[in-house]
Each structure stands twice: as C-alpha cells, then as structure tokens.
Copies of this chain bind each other. A is one copy, B any other.
Amino acid sequence: MATIRDVAIRAGVNPSTVSRVFSGKAKISERTQRRVLAAAAALDFHPNAIARSLSVRRTHTVAVVVPHIFPGYFEDCFFPQVMRGLLEVAYEHGYRILVGGSNSHKDNITQTFEILGSRQADGIVVLSNRLDVDTVGALRQQSTPFVLVGRPPADNGALAWVDADNERYTQEAIDYLIGLGHRRIAFVGGDPEVAVTAERLTGYVTALERANLPRNQAWIDFGYFAEDGGYQAVQRMMALGVDAPSAYYAANDLMAIGIMRALRERGVCVPDEVSVIGTNNSPESAHVSPPLTTLQVPYAEMAAVAVRVLIEGIERGALEHVQWYVPCTLLTRGSTGPYRGG
C-alpha cells in the first residue's frame, strides 16, 4: 500500500507537502498540487486513517455498546430506531459508529470502559438504562465525552443525557383511560429491575391518586416485555372476578398483544368490554385487531439528539450538558373505548 512517503518521492516533494495537499488546509501552489495528485493517483494512494488518528488524536468515530439483554432485543423497537438515529446524524457529520456487543448489564459497562480506555472513539453514547451512581462517577472520571440515553440515577447537572419522560407519559396514558370512564386499571410493566419500569409505575400510581381512584396491588404485574407475560397477567387478574380490571396499560406492545390474546380466548371483547394500551408503536401494533392504542416513544430522535450533542461537544472541545426529554405521543386506535359498566 502506498504511503505519503511514496507519493512524496514520486512527486519530488517532502512528505509534509503531500500531507498538506490531502488535508486541504494549507496554501499549496497549483503546480505542486497537480504533481502530488498525479503521483497519488498513479500509486493509488489513500491516506491511512489510523495513522492520521494517532497524530491528530481524533478518530471521527463515536462508539455505542449494545446491551443485548433479552432475546428479541434486536428485533424490538429500541435497537433499530436507536441505530437509525445514530447513523443518520453521524453520517451527516462525517462520523462513523463503532458498535460493540455485550451480553449483560455488567458486561455492557465493562465494554464501555474498554472502548473509552483504549480511545478507539472520540465519544460514546451510553445506552445502558441501569447505570448506578458509581458507574456514572467513573464515567465522569475519564476524559472522553459521553452522552447518556436514559436519565442517570443522580443528576447533578454536570451530565448530558436524553430520555423520554416515562413517568409523565404513562400518567397521561392512564389519564386517557380514566377519561374514558375506567376505574379499575391494570399496570403490566416490563422488567421490574429496569429504571423505566419504576418510572412508568410511578406515573400509573400518580394518575390513579390524582383521580382518587382505587388502587389494588393485584392490578400490578410484570411481564418482562414478553407476550406471554401479558397473557399471564390477564389470567391472574381475571381471577379477581368483579374486581378484574376494565383497562390495561402495558409497557410494550408485545405484552399488550399477549393481553389481547388472553382476553379474546376468554371471550372478552376489546374494546367493548376491556380497553388495552401498549407502548412503542411497534410494527405489529397497527396490524393486530383491533389496532392497538399505543404510547409512541421516539427512540430514533433520542439517539439523534444524543449523537448530535456528542459530536458538537467533540468538535467544540466542550460537551453541552443538555438534559433533554423527547416528547412522546399517545396514538389512539381501536383497542381503547369508553367504560361500559360492569
């Protein structure tokens, strides 16, 4: 492979001149430029990005480590949308994305620090949603800029993060059900270990409290984001008889679909007898029958904002400590309707 030195020799100039021609930010005479370019073309010279990175201490790369934490993670809504947001913005700015895998929450942190420590990227977007205070502290100890997708456990204002306000929008979803006249409302969360689950649960509880509605521990269940989890939640709750919920909120669409299936199998009509709300506006949500009312979370936008802030921080040499909530939208479709007594 031709190097800058080969080109210099062939063009009869100093290597630094070749470098200047290719970097484009120095005044080089027409004539020299032509000679260098001709030599480069003849030798099929392409600058080595690694050598350049070592010299300028910049890789034009941002990293992300993908926490492959449950089966179906890649096919779920989060990952593809996040990749789209990252890639589109990175591409616009001439950056590439370095993606690392991980197979657990803990490994995710290990991998993150490995990339950071080895300086393979100019910055990193951290996707883990279960960062503890220590990890955030360790991240702050090091000098590579990072933006969190997901609000950190303790935010002292010196961090950049973007998130969805899960508490607020879950509350709005529950408010919507209350507005339809429902009084026995169930909450089917995902993994109770994950921060988002606690946030949504708080939104649920707040909505009920504000409306002075009854609460019942039996109306709260966790389906671990799996269709079967939603299905089983219904089985347990239908056993409550007259206390069975007339409306369900599920923290993702897959669980909501499981809920609808369980209801259908028991002859309960959605939305005439029971209403169901899902989350994420997944591809399937629009195609089940009835189409699922769902809380759309703009993951692509979250990721896009995160990299944009990150890249601007890299180029400016100082990261702006944005704390940003992207707006979510409740898409009302056929799976929710007014409470009809009972």
Contacts and interface: CB of A to CB of B under 8 A. Distances in A.
A291 to B, nearest CB: 11
Contact of A50 (B54, B117, B286): B54
B101 A49 contact: no
A115 to B, nearest CB: 8
Contacts of A283: 75, 282-284
A170 interface: no
A70 interface: no
A109 to B, nearest CB: 15
A286 B50 CA distance: 46
B101 A91 contact: yes
A120 interface: yes
A118 B46 contact: yes
Contacts of A119: 1, 46, 48-50
A113 to B, nearest CB: 9
A98 B97 contact: yes
A246 interface: no
A194 interface: no
A87 interface: yes
Interface string A38-65: 0000000011111101100001010000
Contacts of A240: none
A154 interface: no
Interface stretch (A76-84, A171-179, A198-206, A327-335): A76-84
A118 B83 contact: no
Given A119-B48, A120-B49, A101 B80 contact: no
Contacts of A257: 287
A88 B101 contact: yes
Contacts of A101: 87-88, 90-91
Interface in A79-122: 79-81, 83-84, 87-88, 90-91, 96-103, 115, 117-120
Given A75-B80, A83-B99, 4 more contacts: A66-B87, A75-B77, A90-B101, A282-B283
Interface of A: 1, 46-51, 53-54, 59, 61, 66, 68, 74-75, 77, 79-81, 83-84, 87-88, 90-91, 96-103, 115, 117-120, 143, 257, 282-284, 286-289, 300
